[in-house]
Amino acid sequence: MARLLTILIAAIALSACATAQLPGPQAERRIALTFDDIPRHQGAFYTTDERAELLRATLRYASVEQAAFFVNPGHLHERVNGVEHVMAYMADGHVVANHTADHGSLSNLTLDEYFAEIDAAEAWLVQLDGHRPWFRYPYLNEGRRDHEKRDGVRAGLAERGLSNGYVTVDASDWFYDQAVSEAVRDGHELDMEALGELFVESHVEAAAFFDDLAIRTVGRSPAHVMLLHEADVTVMFLPQLIDALEADGWTIITADEAYTDPFGELAATYDTPSAQGTLTEQVAWERGIPAPRWYTRNHIPTARAAFNARVLGIEPTQQQAED
């Protein structure tokens, strides 16, 4: 009997070893969650208090140890309880970083104006316990085709000890929130179940797409960073999104872990004709990986057509279908 037990234990140990050593991308798919535009304007469904509470409860319930919140301190006093929500996110173990004071686009500002925005935001953030020295470009605009600006910002960030708070996965969550607000305003009837399915499906597809692109580009699955916003639709469907990611083999990791991946070092140096978008796309472009290098529904007319058909029940006109 004792011998049988020994064999049984050995067999179990052996099978555990075999499982741990399974090769392939499925073995290690890691992603951190990040939320931009804190504090974001009120949406169609929640007060800002309700939304912050729901977001906190979802992260807690899903055991998300640490998400990152990219803050526009210039907006804090324009929103109800903006400061309180930032403090509450940090009290839950989440971290905060710089998204400029007022969310200006680099293309519309001089370098001096842009750094005034960055410095004003950093002056407020640096005093907080949950502060991290990361900078996320508003609109992910890193200077586009203006390489002088691109390089000027990179040099200024390095001088300040700030690193690029890049993203590797984007599915344009902001679009669904904006489309819903417009639909509600215009009196459309919304199929909320279909909205949730479209939102979750888009983000899970985008994660798979960008992971595949990264593997084709650098030969491995890096620790990913998903771009999300403090938006009603995002917060509403976040529980289903986390479930769906986990069902698809993803582990939610901390932002701290994601930003120590060596893949991130490429964010300070990549050289492409136009600097904007996910780091995954930029590195793939730099290394000559053929298009498509971005997820299909980040093309907003494509996302709009899916939203209209599935959520509003509006089929495209003949002209739109041909475009």
Q: Which residues bind Zn ion (CB under 5 A)?
A: 36-37, 138
DSSP string, 137-204: -GGGEEEET-HHHHHHHHHHHHHHT-EE---SB---HHHHHHHHHHHHHTT----HHHHHHHHHHHHH
Closest distance of CB 70 from Zn ion, Å: 7
User: Are residues 95 and 52 in contact, defined by beta-carbon separation less than 8 angstroms?
Assistant: no
- Angle, CA 306 vertex, CA 304 and CA 312 arms, to 5°: 85
CA dist 114 to 99, 102, 108, 142, 146, Å? Answer: 11, 10, 9, 11, 14
Question: In the bound complex, which residue of the shown chain has the CB atom lying closest to Zn ion?
Answer: 36
Cross-strand pairs, 135: 98, 164
13 Cβ contact list (under 8 Å, min separation 6): none
Using the minimum distance from each CB to Zn ion, give the nearer residue, 71 or 305.
71
The least CB distance from residue 186 to Zn ion, in Å, is 25
Helix H or strand E encompassing 251: strand 250-252
Distance CA 50, CA 56 (A): 10
The Cα–Cα gap between 255 and 66 comes to 6
Closest distance to Zn ion from the beta carbon of 178 (Å): 13
Is the Cβ of residue 141 or residue 163 nearer to Zn ion in the bound state? 141
Residue 35 or 250: the one with the smaller Cβ distance to Zn ion is 35
Residue closer to Zn ion by CB (options 37, 142) is 37
Cis peptide before 292 (omega within 30 of 0): yes
Least distance from Zn ion to the Cβ atom of residue 277, Å: 13
CB of 99 to Zn ion, least distance (A): 6
Nearest residue (CB) to Zn ion, 32 versus 312: 32
Minimum CB–partner distance for residue 234 and Zn ion (Å):
13
Q: Which is nearer to Zn ion, 34 or 254 (CB)?
A: 34
Are 216 and 175 within 8 A, CB to CB? no
Residues 250 and 248: their CA atoms lie apart, in Å, by 6
Q: Where are the alpha helices (DSSP H) in the chain?
A: 2-20, 48-61, 82-91, 111-125, 147-160, 173-185, 192-218, 232-247, 255-258, 279-286, 300-307, 318-322
Please state the closest distance from residue 37 (CB atom) to Zn ion, in A: 4
Give whichever of 36 and 177 is closer to Zn ion, judged by the CB atom.
36
Minimum distance of Zn ion from residue 75's CB (angstroms): 11
Distance CA 234, CA 226 (A): 12
Q: Give whichever of 140 and 258 is closer to Zn ion, judged by the CB atom.
A: 140
Minimum distance of Zn ion from residue 139's CB (angstroms) = 7
- Is the CB of 67 or the CB of 208 nearer to Zn ion? 67
